[in-house]
Structure 1
């Protein structure tokens, strides 16, 4: 029988009976905080951090894996709104109507959403495009690669090294969709009806090349031609980029999918603020590199720097996915923001948290006159209310004075 361990993000540690090999694999894979219980052999202390999702650890000699599920504190529908908006703020995600078919767990909801988006993308048939192809041929097609012909053939007439553009379905967009489908089919906890849908999409994409794991993902550019693919492509890249767990420590195999809520919240806040500030006539840069010192030896990279019409910085923001504790937010966040304000010549800085006891607080730094604002966004509210709160933060940003 499969052992399923249920955890909730950022809650107290739980003592769970686990094989030592599984506990070590969870700790090594940075899935959860895992440590052996010194007083109870065979039990491990597990505590979930900011990563949510599910992983399965397969132990050699056992038929069933040990599955660890980490549930987010945010409702699944809200999580998918944050994800969808950060990927495509102009898309249909804005109204919060995301098709998760009532799934309560993250992985079934993710797999269902991706399968539905791929189905919509492919209803009018597979997109085709031109693909640059190089091959050795007995007939001249396209142009001859003269340097390769000389290097490989030593002056022989045939075969010919040629390069041409082929009109095909084996393009970047279809490769991303096919590879995402394959990845989801290997994940634990995908319901049978969703798996059936994914198998149908794989059959549609059967003639498309699967991207080899570890190789860079192909680049695609939004256009009128691939507009019906774009939602599906955004989700496919999310499945494939930096969120998958798939490795084999020793004889074990760990397979799963995890969202990092820290990154998800940061992406949403910075994208939503950028969109809100753009409507107010300001531009913004995300993860904007700067230096703290005159010698440019100490680098810093604020999450969000707002620029005014003159091109000078006018506001700086850092997003922090953590809830306020009884004694307040961590002081280290304030010290970091103070450094940002000093280096950028700003009199105010802004920290945006996922939740707090009050929507806004401000601290004036002694002998400096710099004011550090702490904003709290309630992620449990409707998308329209959340975006309205972001717009209020944006309005405060554009009025931030410089030193």
Structure 2
């Protein structure tokens, strides 16, 4: 399986593979060229670089082509490391935290020991949860079936009985049978079969086949989307809570920020900007003290209005507030540089955007934070940037690995009136 980084290249030429360029088959190349440039329902994740080379865009994850080629795309890491296991571990951590997944897998140790591609790690986590659920006991439920019986049992279906052209010696009845055939279990069986058919890990295949035998009385889902919609909530199904998001990840790709479209096999693809935004949000939310609340992408305000119509909705990545104050936090997946003459790579458009957020959400008074991934050579950006005497913007690094609360978060937690977190 080729492994590259975002913005890497894929070519049909035979050459030694690296994180920046890898060789793929002609059939995989043609499929990516045909479907990877986007359509009305999807977003482009490749661009043509030359007749035999395509360049990837800012998407990460795994994409599988119909010919069976599986391509792993890792983040263009915040440092120049080429340690695939370390980068993959970070990506899995970002996805699990962003989707609020809590698999039983140890995480770093599993990835490092087995050198698992990302999809195989999630498949293994799903199988672990399914195995634990089966060990504790699956929930049964009543299923209504219509049949014809030589004797009367259940409920007589009068309309079908009268309309029967022949076979009046049999009764048309409806039966409520207590069985394992319920939507949640059908999804579980379908997930197990999906892993068994698509995994390249012998351990995952073995475990999936064992679970398939244990689920022999449960049919596969005939309509995955419909069965997810019928998934019940309640105390009786509390044990199913951990396996559902992993099943959605593998079967339905019902993700809050993944790409849409027809994917085959064990594919999952994420826009890196959205993933970074969610990762920052989940990290900050977990670090806040009692009395503070975080809101993901508030959308109460618009930039302007025309009469009674409001135009251009404003959606910062995150709003933190307590009873007394508010703070705006925005995250950008971009590497800053040390070239002060080029404003360290900071975007004027981003500053305009933050200024609008400050006027509408903070009423022109308070502190805002613009987060960038921390790199080895992160510039010493001066600050805070003052839009006015009362409105300030702080440009700060975000540590992708430790997720430790920096000084700016301590300022928020204290609800301090300090003008600068530095």
Specify if TM > 0.5.
yes
Distance 2:130 2:406 in 1: 31
Q: 1:90 to 1:5 in 2, by over 3 A?
A: closer
Q: 1:185 to 1:350 in 2, by over 3 A?
A: farther
The aligned runs of 1:189-338 (5 Å cut-off) are: 190-206=200-216, 207-210=218-221, 212-213=223-224, 215=226, 217-218=228-229, 220=231, 225-239=236-250, 240-242=252-254, 243=258, 247=262, 255-260=265-270, 261-277=272-288, 279-292=289-302, 293-294=304-305, 295-309=309-323, 314-326=326-338, 327-338=344-355
Q: Is the 8 A contact 2:37 2:45 kept in 1?
A: no
TM-score by length of 2: 0.70
Distance 2:389 2:183 in 1: 52
Distance 2:211 2:186 in 1: 12
1:68: which partner in 2?
71
Q: 1:285 to 1:136 in 2, by over 3 A?
A: farther
**Matched residue pairs, number?**
366
- Partner of 1:323: helix, strand, or coil? coil
Shift of 1:360: 7.7
Shift of 1:315: 1.9
TM-score by length of 1: 0.72
Q: Which runs of 5+ in 1 are unaligned?
A: 59-64, 249-253
The aligned runs of 1:333-372 (5 Å cut-off) are: 333-346=350-363, 347-356=366-375, 357=378, 362-367=383-388, 369-372=390-393
Q: 1:55 to 1:395 in 2, by over 3 A?
A: farther
Q: Does 1:50 align with 2:53?
A: no
Q: Is the 8 A contact 1:289 1:301 kept in 2?
A: yes
- Partner of 1:54: helix, strand, or coil? strand
Q: Is the 8 A contact 2:384 2:394 kept in 1?
A: yes
Shift of 1:36: 5.5
The aligned runs of 1:139-158 (5 Å cut-off) are: 141=154
Distance 1:211 1:25 in 2: 30
Distance 1:303 1:163 in 2: 52
1:62: which partner in 2?
none
Task: Name which of 405, 418, 422 aligns with 1:389.
Answer: 405
- Partner of 2:223: helix, strand, or coil? coil
Q: Is the 8 A contact 1:26 1:34 kept in 2?
A: no
Q: Is the 8 A contact 1:54 1:68 kept in 2?
A: yes
Q: Does 1:32 align with 2:51?
A: no
Q: 1:225 to 1:83 in 2, by over 3 A?
A: farther
Q: Does 1:84 align with 2:96?
A: yes
Shift of 1:197: 1.7
Distance 1:97 1:228 in 2: 25
Task: Name which of 9, 27, 30 aligns with 1:21.
Answer: 30
Distance 1:322 1:389 in 2: 21
Q: Is the 8 A contact 1:81 1:98 kept in 2?
A: no
Q: Which runs of 5+ in 2 are unaligned?
A: 14-25, 78-85, 165-169, 339-343
Shift of 1:255: 4.5
Q: Does 1:107 align with 2:128?
A: no
Q: Is the 8 A contact 1:288 1:302 kept in 2?
A: yes
Q: Is the 8 A contact 1:247 1:255 kept in 2?
A: no
Q: Deviations over 1:340-361 (max 9, x none)?
A: 2211125222223333415986
Q: 1:31 to 1:204 in 2, by over 3 A?
A: farther
Distance 1:52 1:391 in 2: 32
- Partner of 1:194: helix, strand, or coil? helix
Distance 1:361 1:176 in 2: 53
Shift of 1:238: 2.2
Q: 1:365 to 1:16 in 2, by over 3 A?
A: farther
Q: CA RMSD in A?
A: 4.1
Q: 1:85 to 1:47 in 2, by over 3 A?
A: closer
- Partner of 1:70: helix, strand, or coil? strand
Q: Which protein has greater RCO, CA pairs closer than 8 Å, 6+ apart?
A: 1
Shift of 1:302: 2.6
